[in-house]
Structure 1
């Protein structure tokens, strides 16, 4: 089941929508989709765009007309789906929207075209359908934690095979851990006793290789006496072999280049404080960090720090200069790391070399120390220049390249390596004998070890457990194959149930029985395929026995929706519980037909409940009212039911999804919503990112609210202007002032420049407060009911 649309970016009116930031309840808890989801949004708010995302999961791809779209659909039982992998979810998705109508009812675009045919289970195929039911009965149910028959057998087989696999892995792990402990376990492993076993790079693979040696019948372990002799041999006073020295790799050229670039980088001078540019006062930057959001007065001079001064300082230390400071600090840190490498690098201690090499050792070591020091000095010169720029970040500095003799350092490393080679060669004969002794001791240790842990018994037990696992795995595979074969057979038999005539009858049943359209019918016309010669069908809308032309928008809507409902029962969909999305199905329909659309949803979709999840979007409040009657849609128990109510809000060119306001769920009327928007404007002290939409839409909201409110208050033939004057009383100023704002801010005609300027907050606040105060003045009981309907406490209001 789909739990949320994690994000939508660059997709029509959804510029940068993130579910977890927007879809929350009153407590700030993140909400998720439920079994049934009702979505309300005005026209052009973004309902169809949402449906197209879901239809992409049905067709496999989004429209190529979107520019760099991004979206992510989160499921609770399969991996997330993003815009590039709409074919990976393996869910059955069926979407009704204008794209579905265009793709399947092609006559809408081309009057000479037909309707895409489909087949449902035919009335004359009861035998095949019974066979399918028998096969399905044999399969059983595959619902999680409620599996039956073959699916339950598969589940049990999977669990048994899993336990067998766990037993195999446990036995293997036990043996592997013992071998690993012997090979590389600290401190008693072979690796950690190179003085006896001769290999400080010993590993698990090496142990396995030598284990096969001692298991060979030709291997004869050394005696205890010979073991004692070999241990004495290892105590001979010879120098240990000197390992190859690691070379330092200081990328000095790169550090020079980076330093030069940062020193010469220029900072834009706009919005800078001249005094700070001329005199690099680092304490000012530190002072900002010490005072920001902590003190209103300067700790140094005890003067007030004004808001204007904070703005000047923030503009001075802008993102560009901060980024340069960060880059300077990072590079300084990197150079210091290189200096640490230089400080840590040393030759092996002199005692590891034979005395004949000591003089040469001292000369090389002195050269090394001197070269490392000059390299360190060069790096510190880089740091000094970077710190100078950091102290005066707004003024570029000229780069002074430090001296560095890389070639000399390379030559020293070569000298060290040659010294090591000659020292090691000096001990070659002794080392050879000691290495042979260590190998013999190592093999004897391994021989004793495998007898101690009963290696042969453990390997035999592992082989027995693997045989059990293979048997259980094969049982599971047999059941899985039987299930797969039955599913293939069901598909083959379903393909035999093709009945285009039945599909036509089902559409006509909906048209005639539910909508009373006796004149429009759908007809299946048989024809021969020009390529294959096979019989094929095409659907055609007829009126009084002739192909119908010039259908009204309402007739197209009716036929399309009946076609969609009937198609949910086709052989590709029936029994597969799809995810269904219905996008605004009541376009151009009267109230009677709107009710019948609801009836079809209630009986044909919700009645059978052969769906995994249902989404219905609408702009029509009347239709929204009917949807509240669906079984289990009681909004007072929403948290305990399968229903989620959402609303799409559009501001300018951007839309977001929100939890539907309670008053809209409770009352389903725009009147309450408009009152809430005006009330919010009347109590706002300033405009910010969280409330600017109330100001932006105030003109339209106030105009529509007053038209509704004043019509019922003064239901006569007086003009709207006269009603506004009567509403505001003898003082004409509020009525003229409010009427100007309502008209100028809800229409750009004649005042086009309004569309290019910011909304004036004081005017909006004043107009909103005038309206709220007059409602309270005229009828305090009605005012109290309105504030209660939008869940504002009367005491607060």
Structure 2
């Protein structure tokens, strides 16, 4: 666990940090998310939130956070992938040391109440050479992270191998997960978006469930024919219910029976005319002619001869009532046959469009059968018809009825088959939704089966399992190496505990006071709590000229507190453990010399000997920031590669909320508040509108403008002119801009006499006008104005462009 801190991912409900998000705030010029480095310098004005940040880090040191915060939230991420939150303050695995006002209050109660003492601490003693020799031996075996030697070197190597194995495994796993993610829900090609079998809620977990299903031995892949049928099924829309077809009520049996009866029936004339009996054609001709002559003519219409008087009587005896009735029966049967034959084409209408596509094959077969059987049925009727007509032509001669093969049952069987298909289709409508769901599931699994074969899923999983096993072994080796390091450190601490000497802690503080700050008279004194009990311990007192000191100045308090912190970095709990160090504004109430000495002490005791894992220094003092720029930015990394280890940040407050961002180039490069204030005014002067991105510039405009004009006018008129007179002199004879500027500066900077301004909306147009008036007057000195623009990284003067556009429009 642990490592260097990469980011403060988020802060919520902690003083001026209410909804801070690192990823949206701390970005470089290329819009890339920046991160902490080995040495981090943070600049911010008073009340901007620097101490709040230090309290987050102190919570990592003490394991608790102030109960004054209501529901505080924060998250720190380390370079090894671990995180720290208010719920996991003790799991980061790093030694953390923080200097801030809480450290001073907890350890140096004397500074708050001179009746109190200062907490003592133990550093290594100087009298036990044998123990020291043993400690040196164990420390040599422990080795150094810097040189990657000894057990620490082994641990670093094991950690590197573990990180590499974890990265290799993670990359391979991520690669497979990416393929699964794309297959599950990538726009256009993912299963989620497939119109046939997609699922609006389909995701990677569902895909993995499907993969489990298709890799079982019980899964059978679909054939191309099955896939086609399932797609056809999914294209089906629910169809209306198909009504029952009308029964055929075929008359073939009745007709055949009647035909047999009539064709084979015997009849005879009362007094037959032999010649007519012998010649059926003649008999037909006579019978027909009888109808044209009897009761109509006396002469033959064919030959013109007179008709004999007894002709009609002879013919009546030949064509008697029985034969005529028989003839009528034959005609009636022929009509029945014709009627039956005309019914056949309309017995059954089969429309494929009424059915689902999966019934097409069956329907086509039924159409073919219907046509075949109908043709055969009609042929049978035609045969009967032909035999009836033959009997009709020779009515007095019985014939033997040749009954054709009956296709009545075959036709009825076609209807029965149709009814079966119709019922199945209607049932299919009822089950269509469920069947389509099954089809979608089958097609989806088929798609998944094809996918895992294409990407060689089984081989990928095997490779990932192999890499996971290798990562497990690497982690086991790392843990073993860490156990050896922890065991060795425990042994060293055990030996150091036998050497610790609390009296030496005060001596180390005095070394810093005397050697770096020249305070010969001010010192710490170690006093035994109980001189008669050696194990009773010590307490520290501040003395001046060997007497207990009272009424220390604020500067003296700051020096003692910081020297105490620096000396405490060498106590037995800290020394050699490469701590993460946060130093919050250590130069309170110190003069310029002492500020430089504070920087020198940090550089000499922490930075140069590299007695830290990561260093954070926050300040509001530009002089101190100027010195901090001198801290080396080069560091020899792996393979002697020189890397940049320093980063500068700005803690900026807008109203009631603060944010962290990368320090602007001009503030980092020039280290002067004058450039910073000029940039803020210039941005107000050139802003087209107020939004979330520039709101704080207008909110802080009053303070920024007041401080800028104080600095600018002090050097422009260093002869004691009063403030209002300086404004009038600066803006010239026209006093309106000066009065306008003074009102904005005072009302928005101090709320002078206008308390309600604190609850009123910001007058953006007023501020922009004032900002433009200030910039306009500065431009009178073209060289200085150009230099100021260059210092804030502005190449093209936006105000000049606006002025040119206005001139062109005019």
TM > 0.5 fold call: yes
Kindly indicate whether the alpha-carbon contact (under 8 Å) linking 1:92 and 1:577 is maintained by their aligned counterparts in 2. yes
CA distance 1:795–1:690, shift in 2 (3 Å)? closer
CA distance 1:747–1:479, shift in 2 (3 Å)? closer
Deviation of 1:754 after TM superposition, in Å, equals: 1.0
**Which residue of structure 1 aligns with residue 589 of structure 2?**
588
CA–CA distance in 1 between the matches of 2:517 and 2:139? Answer: 35
CA–CA distance in 2 between the matches of 1:156 and 1:489? Answer: 22
Paired residues for 1:552-631 under 5 Å: 552-631=553-632
* Correspondent of 1:783 among 782, 785, 800: 785
CA–CA distance in 2 between the matches of 1:640 and 1:477? Answer: 29
Other structure's SS at 2:115 match = coil
CA distance 1:767–1:507, shift in 2 (3 Å)? same
* Correspondent of 1:123 among 110, 122, 126: 126
**Which residue of structure 2 aligns with residue 764 of structure 1?**
767
1:663 matches 2:694: no
Kindly indicate whether the alpha-carbon contact (under 8 Å) linking 1:37 and 1:645 is maintained by their aligned counterparts in 2. yes
1:534 matches 2:532: no
Deviation of 1:477 after TM superposition, in Å, equals: 9.2
Deviation of 1:546 after TM superposition, in Å, equals: 2.1
**Which residue of structure 1 aligns with residue 375 of structure 2?**
none
Residues 227-258 of structure 1 show CA distances to partners (whole Å, capped at 9, x for unaligned) of: xxxxxxxxxxxxxxxxxxxxxxxxxxxxxxxx
CA–CA distance in 2 between the matches of 1:18 and 1:570? Answer: 36
CA–CA distance in 2 between the matches of 1:65 and 1:540? Answer: 31
Paired residues for 1:6-17 under 5 Å: 6-17=9-20
CA–CA distance in 1 between the matches of 2:159 and 2:9? Answer: 36
Other structure's SS at 2:709 match = helix
CA–CA distance in 2 between the matches of 1:119 and 1:136? Answer: 19
1:707 matches 2:710: yes
Kindly indicate whether the alpha-carbon contact (under 8 Å) linking 1:123 and 1:502 is maintained by their aligned counterparts in 2. no
**Which residue of structure 1 aligns with residue 687 of structure 2?**
684
Paired residues for 1:205-220 under 5 Å: none
CA–CA distance in 2 between the matches of 1:188 and 1:29? Answer: 43
Instruction: Using the TM superposition, name which of 724-733 and 38-47 deviates more.
Output: 724-733
CA distance 1:654–1:529, shift in 2 (3 Å)? farther
Paired residues for 1:348-747 under 5 Å: 484-528=486-530, 534-632=535-633, 640-747=643-750
**Which residue of structure 2 aligns with residue 44 of structure 1?**
47
CA distance 1:141–1:743, shift in 2 (3 Å)? closer
Residues 180-230 of structure 1 show CA distances to partners (whole Å, capped at 9, x for unaligned) of: xxxx9999976469xxxxxxxxxxxxxxxxxxxxxxxxxxxxxxxxxxxxx
CA–CA distance in 1 between the matches of 2:159 and 2:77? Answer: 30
Residues 395-438 of structure 1 show CA distances to partners (whole Å, capped at 9, x for unaligned) of: xxxxxxxxxxxxxxxxxxxxxxxxxxxxxxxxxxxxxxxxxxxx
Other structure's SS at 2:765 match = helix
**Which residue of structure 1 aligns with residue 240 of structure 2?**
none
CA–CA distance in 2 between the matches of 1:116 and 1:695? Answer: 47
Structure 1: runs of 5 or more not aligned: 167-183, 194-364, 377-465
Other structure's SS at 1:49 match = helix
1:81 matches 2:84: yes
Residues 613-672 of structure 1 show CA distances to partners (whole Å, capped at 9, x for unaligned) of: 0000001111111111122289xxxx9521110011111111111111111111111111
CA RMSD of aligned residues (A): 3.8
CA–CA distance in 2 between the matches of 1:143 and 1:772? Answer: 52
CA–CA distance in 1 between the matches of 2:159 and 2:723? Answer: 77
Instruction: Using the TM superposition, name which of 534-543 and 653-662 deviates more.
Output: 534-543
Paired residues for 1:55-454 under 5 Å: 55-77=58-80, 79-141=82-144, 146=148, 148=150, 152=154, 191=218
Kindly indicate whether the alpha-carbon contact (under 8 Å) linking 1:35 and 1:612 is maintained by their aligned counterparts in 2. yes
Deviation of 1:533 after TM superposition, in Å, equals: 8.2
CA distance 1:712–1:633, shift in 2 (3 Å)? farther
Other structure's SS at 2:9 match = strand
Deviation of 1:561 after TM superposition, in Å, equals: 0.6
CA–CA distance in 2 between the matches of 1:157 and 1:658? Answer: 32
CA–CA distance in 2 between the matches of 1:572 and 1:80? Answer: 24
Kindly indicate whether the alpha-carbon contact (under 8 Å) linking 2:141 and 2:150 is maintained by their aligned counterparts in 1. no
Residues 662-711 of structure 1 show CA distances to partners (whole Å, capped at 9, x for unaligned) of: 11111111111111111111111211111111111112211221121122
The higher radius of gyration belongs to 2
Kindly indicate whether the alpha-carbon contact (under 8 Å) linking 2:634 and 2:643 is maintained by their aligned counterparts in 1. no
Kindly indicate whether the alpha-carbon contact (under 8 Å) linking 2:77 and 2:84 is maintained by their aligned counterparts in 1. yes
Deviation of 1:108 after TM superposition, in Å, equals: 2.2
CA–CA distance in 2 between the matches of 1:727 and 1:64? Answer: 52
Other structure's SS at 1:534 match = helix
Structure 2: runs of 5 or more not aligned: 169-210, 221-422, 435-468, 636-641, 800-810
CA–CA distance in 1 between the matches of 2:112 and 2:11? Answer: 30
**Which residue of structure 2 aligns with residue 353 of structure 1?**
none
Other structure's SS at 1:563 match = helix
Other structure's SS at 2:616 match = strand
Kindly indicate whether the alpha-carbon contact (under 8 Å) linking 1:138 and 1:149 is maintained by their aligned counterparts in 2. yes
**Which residue of structure 2 aligns with residue 274 of structure 1?**
none
CA–CA distance in 2 between the matches of 1:96 and 1:8? Answer: 20
CA distance 1:498–1:683, shift in 2 (3 Å)? same
> How many residues in Structure 1 have an aligned counterpart in Structure 2?
507
Deviation of 1:712 after TM superposition, in Å, equals: 1.5
Residues 739-759 of structure 1 show CA distances to partners (whole Å, capped at 9, x for unaligned) of: 222222212131111111111
Deviation of 1:605 after TM superposition, in Å, equals: 0.9
**Which residue of structure 1 aligns with residue 411 of structure 2?**
none
Residues 150-208 of structure 1 show CA distances to partners (whole Å, capped at 9, x for unaligned) of: 86399679989x99xx9xxxxxxxxxxxxxxxxx9999976469xxxxxxxxxxxxxxx
**Which residue of structure 2 aligns with residue 197 of structure 1?**
none
Kindly indicate whether the alpha-carbon contact (under 8 Å) linking 2:502 and 2:537 is maintained by their aligned counterparts in 1. no
* Correspondent of 2:21 among 18, 21, 24: 18
Kindly indicate whether the alpha-carbon contact (under 8 Å) linking 2:158 and 2:474 is maintained by their aligned counterparts in 1. no
Deviation of 1:78 after TM superposition, in Å, equals: 5.0
CA–CA distance in 1 between the matches of 2:214 and 2:657? Answer: 65
**Which residue of structure 2 aligns with residue 323 of structure 1?**
none
CA–CA distance in 2 between the matches of 1:488 and 1:533? Answer: 25
Deviation of 1:148 after TM superposition, in Å, equals: 4.2
CA distance 1:782–1:73, shift in 2 (3 Å)? same
CA–CA distance in 2 between the matches of 1:713 and 1:651? Answer: 30
CA–CA distance in 2 between the matches of 1:664 and 1:190? Answer: 69
TM-score by length of 2: 0.58
